[in-house]
């Protein structure tokens, strides 16, 4: 898919940005892929049929898409094997992805969840200014992640190891989620169980890494979180919990898939570019340890002309 969208930048508000302190957060979830639903706004935003108010025509929408999963490796801990990886979410839309917590005027309490608003602006709006939104509704929750020591937004993404299947053109593509039996005869699925993500601007889709002053969302504390147009959020392979349990998964060839918005909770311009993947081989090394061999990969908005390195797995930056 060719990246042709015009990126709308709100350059007039950078002085405001420099004078403000800001914070934010984000998350991801399990393997339940709810069917996209509409709310009568005609945008096809796939928000899960939550009966949310219609979106004004003047609203500019984000379009979040996952990049190529990278840095696959096996982490052995206490006789368990974990598949670790780096993942990215990029905003190829003309509108910003923005979440705001509802703390009801009080300081947040660690261990307690709070409502998460998604905000949409028009061409004249300024990010991080709720009074300028044209649509602002509760879509999820903020939850505190004790290991990461910051706030996440629930329901951001799904990571799964999937079987290889053949499509109508004879190509190998991701199929059903891999399942196997553990030592107790219980069925195990490979889907990552993860509470959420902290969403922020890390670097740009075109590979640029400008000054922090150009970032609208750059912390994971108790405030705004999001991804502005043309930017990437990244969770590196070294991040705690960026993993899937694969203890007992038979050797063979599989796909690791990354899916944005699996529950259809969030307003998003395009639901056709929400899944990326990498094919890999899991092999025995002969010394009791197993190894991952990366093969071909795919991301819906990764361009072959090199214009989108942030989505093609060509950038390695630990967030």
Instruction: Give the residue with greater pLDDT, 265 vs 111.
Output: 265
Residues forming beta bridges with residue 70, ordered by sequence position: 86
Query: Tens digits of per-residue pLDDT, 206-217?
Result: 988 776 778 999
- pLDDT above 70: residue 201: yes
Question: How confident is the model over 237-251, as a mean pLDDT?
Answer: 84
| pLDDT, position 151 | 78
Q: How many helices (H) and strands (E) does the chain have?
A: 1, 18
| Highest mean pLDDT: which range of 13-22, 97-106, 128-137 | 128-137
Q: Quick one: three-class SS letters along 210-224?
A: CCHHHCCCCCCCCCC
| pLDDT, position 52 | 81
Residue 165's pLDDT band (cuts 50, 70, 90): very high
Question: How confident is the model over 218-222, as a mean pLDDT?
Answer: 75
| pLDDT, position 105 | 54
Question: How confident is the model over 30-52, as a mean pLDDT?
Answer: 45
Question: How confident is the model over 92-113, as a mean pLDDT?
Answer: 79
116, 100 in Cβ contact below 8 A? yes
Which residue has 């899991």 as its token pair? 282
- pLDDT above 60: residue 63: yes
| pLDDT, position 124 | 95
| pLDDT, position 113 | 80
Look over the chain and give the mean of its residue pLDDT values, rounded to a whole number. 80
Of 296, 238, 218, 210, whose CA–CA distance to 75 is shortest?
238
Question: How confident is the model over 293-306, as a mean pLDDT?
Answer: 96
Residue 21's pLDDT band (cuts 50, 70, 90): very low
Question: How confident is the model over 248-267, as a mean pLDDT?
Answer: 95
Tell me the percentage of the chain whose pLDDT exceeds 90.
54
Residue 44's pLDDT band (cuts 50, 70, 90): very low
Distance CA 78, CA 81 (A): 8
| pLDDT, position 314 | 86
Of 205, 204, 233, 239, whose CA–CA distance to 219 is shortest?
233
Residue 8's pLDDT band (cuts 50, 70, 90): very low
Residues forming beta bridges with residue 46, ordered by sequence position: none
Residue 50's pLDDT band (cuts 50, 70, 90): low
Q: Give the DSSP per-residue string, 115-137.
A: EEEEEEB-TT--TT-GGG-SEEE
Question: How confident is the model over 27-33, as a mean pLDDT?
Answer: 35
Distance CA 82, CA 241 (A): 10
Residue 29's pLDDT band (cuts 50, 70, 90): very low
* Residue 13 three-state SS: helix
| pLDDT, position 109 | 63
């Amino acid at each position: 898919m060719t990246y042709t969208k015009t990126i709308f930048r709100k350059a007039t508000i950078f002085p405001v940005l420099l004078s403000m302190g800001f914070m934010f957060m984000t998350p991801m979830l399990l393997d339940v892929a709810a069917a996209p639903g509409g709310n009568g706004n005609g945008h096809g935003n796939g928000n899960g049929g939550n009966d949310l108010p219609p979106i004004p025509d003047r609203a500019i929408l984000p379009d979040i898409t996952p990049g190529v999963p990278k840095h696959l490796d096996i982490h052995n801990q206490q006789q368990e094997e974990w598949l670790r990886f780096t993942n990215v979410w990029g905003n190829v839309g003309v509108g910003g992805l923005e979440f705001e917590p509802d703390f009801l005027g009080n300081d947040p309490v660690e261990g307690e969840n709070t409502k998460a608003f998604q905000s949409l602006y028009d061409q004249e709006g300024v990010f991080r200014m709720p009074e300028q939104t044209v649509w602002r509704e509760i879509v999820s929750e903020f939850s505190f992640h004790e290991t990461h020591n910051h706030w996440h937004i629930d329901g951001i993404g799904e990571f799964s190891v999937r079987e290889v299947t053949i499509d109508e053109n004879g190509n190998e593509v991701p199929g059903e989620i891999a399942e196997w039996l553990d030592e107790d005869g219980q069925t195990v699925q490979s889907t990552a169980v993860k509470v959420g993500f902290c969403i922020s601007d890390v670097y740009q889709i075109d590979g640029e890494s400008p000054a922090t002053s150009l970032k609208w969302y750059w912390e994971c504390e108790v405030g705004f979180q999001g991804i502005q147009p043309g930017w990437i959020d990244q969770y590196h392979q070294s991040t705690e919990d960026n993993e899937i349990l694969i203890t007992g998964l038979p050797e063979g060839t599989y796909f690791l898939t990354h899916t944005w918005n699996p529950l259809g909770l969030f307003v998003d311009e395009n639901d056709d570019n929400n899944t990326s993947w990498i094919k890999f081989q899991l092999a025995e090394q002969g010394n009791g340890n197993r190894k991952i061999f990366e093969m071909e990969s795919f991301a819906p908005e990764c361009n072959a002309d090199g214009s989108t390195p942030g989505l093609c797995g060509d950038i390695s930056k630990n967030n």
